Structure 1
């Protein structure tokens, strides 16, 4: 599992990537995780929790194959929105 920690001001967002399952956790959603299986995308849940832009983001990521491609795309997308990556943990041993 790869964990990415982003910050913007005092806000912190964590992204967990475990194969093709992505979990987003941040205070803006009440620290209730948004769990997305890229092989079984639940469009209704994603649109309710993340909006149409979130759905577009998930569709783009679902096309990627490896964990590292997913990590790089998430980093690029978050940084374009003003989030700064301040830590990465790779628990895959």
Structure 2
């Protein structure tokens, strides 16, 4: 896994958060907490998973996403799928 791929994944996640949830791009950092810092709820998380599945063409298992708490966790999960 190269840094370029992680950067691309971060760009996709950032774009998704901005477009789907109208989150200010400046608030989206790797250590931003999805539920507290970005005010997502569990339904938003499902919407994010569905969006990322469409973008990546990969199936994301819900249990793989349960432990996700930060933007970096999302990037790591998606990056792992793309390996």
Return the TM-score normalized by structure 1: 0.32
Highest Rg: 1 or 2?
1
Return the TM-score normalized by structure 2: 0.34
Q: Higher RCO, 1 or 2 (CA under 8 Å, sep at least 6)?
A: 2
Q: Which has the higher strand share?
A: 1
